[in-house]
Amino acid sequence: MAGKIRILPEPVAQKIAAGEVVERPASVVKELMENAIDAGASEIIVELKSGGLQLIRVTDNGEGMVPEDVPLALQRFATSKIRQAEDLFAIETLGFRGEALPSIASVSQMVLKTRPSNSISGTKVISEGGEVKRISEVGCPVGTDVEVHDLFYNFPVRRKFLKSIRTELRYALLHFHRMSLAYPSITFKFIHDGRILQELIKTESFLTRVEAILGKEVIGHLKPIRHEEDEIQIEGFTSLPSFAKGNRDGISTYIHGRYVKDRIIQKAILDGYRHVLPADKYPVSILLISLPPSSVDVNVHPTKAEVKFKEPERIYQAVWSSIRRALEESPSEGRWISPGKRGESIQEGELQASLSFQGFRKPYSEVGDNGFNPPKVGEREDLQWEVEKRTPYRVVGQLWATYILCEAEGTLIFVDQHAAHERILFEKLKRKYDDGALTTEKLLLPVLLELSLEESLIFDSAEEAFKAIGFEIESVGERLYAIRTIPSFIEQKEAGERVREMLEELSFLKRGGEGSIPLQTLLISLACHSAVRANFPLRREEMEELIGNLYPFNPSTTCPHGRPVFFLLPLDEMNRQFKRN
Ligand SMILES: Nc1ncnc2c1ncn2[C@@H]1O[C@H](COP(=O)(O)OP(=O)(O)OP(=O)(O)O)[C@@H](O)[C@H]1O
Ligand SMILES: [Mg+2]
C-alpha cells in the first residue's frame, strides 16, 4: 500500500524554517497535538507523568498511518502535508515541515503505535535517541498513540535545565488550553499522574468551550465578534471593560486554527481598547482569524508561532474595527470606571471614606507608622537632588487627581500618587513581615473560592507563601478552596478578590518563580491593590501624609514594580525655558 508521506526534495527542504522545536515537555505536547488535529481526530488524550519529564503521551482517533509510512514519519523533512515549494504558500495544516517527530524522537525514547481505519492491525515502532530499534505489527485501536519517555535522557545538560514538575506541567497545560480553545468540535482530555485534570467534551458552541477553559466568571463579560470583509473573517469573543486582567494572558489569537503571537494583531486589539481600559489593564480576547492561505506566510519560525502577513495593514484594520464594533455595541459599559470597583457606580463619599488616611483601610494605619524606609541611595549622583539635604517642601496640590505637585528649594517635585503609596505600603508590609508582626484573623465562616485550573496550579506552588503572610487556605474539593484565616489588615469581604489578584500577579512570574520570590510578589500585590489609584481626588491632609512618608525624596525610589515614583523639575530648567539668566 502506498503511504501518504514523502521525503521533501532537497530544494524544498532548504526553504523550510527549520530549527530547534523541542525545548521542554510543553513543546512536545504542542507538536503531537498538532499532528493529531491534522490527522482529523475527534478525540485527543494528552497524558503526562511527572510534568512530562517521565512520560508524554498523546493518543488520537485520527486517520493513522499505513506500515510503509511509519519509518518515514521519523525521518527529517518527511511529511504528507506538502509536496513542493509552492505548497508553502498555501498551508492549510498545522504541520508542514516534517520535523517534529524526528526532533522529538532524537531526544527521547519513543514508542509509536498507529492504525488506519481500513486495516485490521496496526504498526508499532520503538526508537531510542532517534534510532529505530524495532518495527512490528501490533493490535491497536484506529488512530495514533505516541509515547515519549524520558525526554532529554541523552542530553543531561538539557534535562538539567528543565524546571520543577509543577512548572513544566503548567507550561504543558498552557499549550493544551491554547490548542483546545480553538477546536471545540474535538474532545480533549488531559491526564497527569493518573488524574484527569481537564476533560473538554466536544461541542458545537464555541462559547461552551471558552467557558470550560476560562471559567464561568468571565463569560458574562464577553461580547461576540463576527467580522467578514475582503476575504478576512474573524470570529470570537472579547471582554467588556467590566472585566480586565493585569497581563496579556487573556489574549489568544489564531490564524487558521494556529495559535499565533503576532505584534500587529496584539496592537490592533489593544488600540481597540484605547480610552476604554487603562494602560496597565488588558482584555480577554479570543480571535479566530481566517484569510486566504496565500496571504500569510507561516514558514517564518521553527515553532510556527509567528506569521508574516502580505498586507499587515488590512489585518490591523480588520481586528481593530471588529473590537471597536463589539465595544461600541454596549455603550453603557463602554468606559473603564474605576479599577477595583468595576461596573459599580461609585459614590463620591464612599470613595473619600475608604481613602481617608487616618482611617485608611488597615494596611496603612495598622501596618504601623514608623515612616517609610527608603532604599539605599544608589548610583544616581547626577541628580541634583541630594537625599541628605532634607530640604523642607510644600504640597502645592493635586494634578488631574493623579499626581501630587510639591515645591521645594530650587525644584518642583511631581509625585505619582499610586506608585508612591504602593512603595510606602510595600515597605511597611515587608517590615511587619520581617518582624513577625503580621497578625491574622480566623474567619468564623470560611470564604469559599472557586479557582480555574491555572489558578489552582499557581496556588499549589505558592501555598507556603500565602501561609507565611497569614492566609490559611485549604483545598476542599475540585478546584474549590476555603479561606480560613486572613491577615488582619484585610477585610473578610475582600479576601477572595485579594487572593485572586495575588494569583494573577504570581502568573507574571514567567511560570517559574520559586524560593522567596512568590512571597515578595504577594506583598507587592497586596500593596498595589490597597494603594490609592490614579484619577482619585485626595484631600490636602491625605496628600500631606503621603508625601510625609515619602520624604526625604530618595532618587532611587521606584514603586515595587519598578516604575518611578517622582521626578524633579529644577528651577534652573524652568528659568531656561523662560530664557531667564
Ligand atoms: N497523529 C498522527 N496521525 C497520523 N499521521 C501522523 C500523525 N503524526 C504524524 N503523522 C504523519 O507523520 C508525518 C511527520 O510528522 P511530523 O510532525 O514530523 O511532521 P509534519 O506534521 O508533517 O510537520 P511539522 O514538523 O511542521 O510538524 C506527518 O506529515 C503525518 O503524515
Ligand atoms: Mg507535525
d(CA 259, CA 306): 9
pLDDT in tens, 263-321: 999 999 998 988 788 777 899 999 999 999 889 998 888 888 889 999 999 999 999 99
More confident residue, 376 or 198: 198
Q: Is the CB of 60 under 6 A from ligand 1?
A: yes
User: What global pTM score does this model have?
Assistant: 0.70
Percent of the chain residues past pLDDT 70, beyond the cut: 87
Give CA–CA dist 286/220, Å, rounded: 15
Q: How confident is the model at residue 241 (pLDDT cuts 50, 70, 90)?
A: confident
- Is 234's pLDDT higher than 70? yes
Q: With a 6 A CB cut-off, is 143 part of the ligand 1 pocket? A: no
The rounded distance, in Å, linking the Cα atoms of 350 and 537 is 12
Is there an atom of ligand 1 within 6 Å of 36 CB?
yes
The number of the ligand 1 atom at minimal distance from the alpha carbon of 93 is: 21
Q: Does domain 208-333 have CATH number 2.60.40.10?
A: no
CATH, domain 6-202, list 3.30.565.10, 3.40.190.10, 3.30.70.3280, 1.10.510.10: 3.30.565.10
Establish whether residue 5 lines the binding site of ligand 1, counting it when its CB lies within 6 angstroms of any ligand atom: yes
Q: Does the structure show a pLDDT above 50 at 154?
A: yes
The three three-digit cell numbers of residue 114, written as one number: 498507529
pLDDT digits (tens, 9 = 90+) for 3-32: 999 999 998 888 887 777 799 999 999 999
370 CB neighbour count, 10 Å cutoff: 8
Cα–Cα dist 75/8, whole Å: 11
For 192-220, give the DSSP string.
Answer: ETTEEEEEE---S-HHHHHHHHH-HHHHT
Answer with the residue of higher pLDDT: 390 or 125: 125
Same-fold call for 6-202 versus 208-333: no
- 131 secondary structure, DSSP code: E
Task: Kindly report, residue by residue over 451-465, the tens digit of the pLDDT.
Answer: 988 888 889 888 999
Cβ-contact 469, 524 below 8 angstroms: no
Find the helix packing angle between 453-468 and 517-530, rounded to 10°: 90
The answer to whether 565 touches 416, Cβ cutoff 8 Å, is yes
Give the C-alpha distances (Å, rounded to integers) separating 185 from 180, 188, 203, 416, 497.
9, 10, 5, 49, 34
Grid cell 484573623 — which residue?
Answer: 441
C-alpha cell at 317: 484594520
Residue 329: per-residue pLDDT: 73
Unique residue bearing C-alpha cell 496597565? 280
**DSSP assignment of 109-138:** EEEEEEE-TT-SSEEEEEEETTEEEEEEEE
Task: Tell me how far apart the alpha carbons of residues 251 and 273 are, in angstroms, rounded to a whole number.
Answer: 13
Domain layout of the chain by residue ranges: 6-202, 208-333, 347-581
CA of 160 to the centre of ligand 2 (A): 26
Label residue 1 by pLDDT band (50, 70, 90).
Answer: low
Backbone phi and psi for residue 534, each to the nearest 5 degrees, phi listed first: -75, 170
Residue closest by Cα to atom 21 of ligand 1: 95
At 416, phi and psi to the nearest 5? -85, 110
What is the Å distance from ligand 1's center to 80 Cα? 7
Q: Smallest Cα–Cα separation from 561: which of 338, 280, 245, 249?
A: 280
Q: What is the pLDDT of residue 277?
A: 81
Q: Is 130 in the pocket of ligand 1 (CB under 6 A)?
A: no
Whole-angstrom distance, CA of residue 213 vs CA of residue 200: 8
Q: 197-211, 343-357, 489-503, 507-521 — which is least confidently predicted? A: 343-357
Instruction: Name the residue among 221, 219, 253, 214 with its Cα closest to residue 235.
Output: 253
Residue percentage of the chain with pLDDT more than 90: 56
Q: What are phi and psi of 493, to 5 degrees?
A: -70, -20
Mean pLDDT of 228-247: 91
Q: Is 31 in the pocket of ligand 1 (CB under 6 A)?
A: yes
Question: For ligand 1, is residue 77 a contact (CB within 6 Å)?
Answer: no
What's the N-to-C CA distance of the chain in angstroms?
A: 92
DSSP symbols for 530-552 = HSPPSS----HHHHHHHHHHH-S
CATH numeric code, 347-581: 3.30.1540.20
- Residue 553 three-state SS: coil
Which pLDDT band holds residue 344 (cuts at 50, 70, 90)?
Answer: very low
The bridge status of strand 403-408 relative to strand 109-115 is unpaired
pLDDT beyond 50 at 73: yes
Considering only CA atoms, give the Rg of the chain.
28
Task: Indicate the top mutation candidate among 101, 142, 146 to test ligand 1's pocket, ranked by most ligand atoms within 8 A of CB.
Answer: 101
Mean per-residue pLDDT over the chain, rounded: 84
Task: Find the 77 Cα to ligand 2 centroid distance in Å.
Answer: 11
Judge whether residue 222 has pLDDT over 60. Answer: yes
| Ligand lying nearest the CA atom of residue 78 | 1
Of 4-13, 34-43, 134-143, which gets the smallest average pLDDT? 4-13
Q: Please report the pLDDT score of residue 28 as a whole number.
A: 97
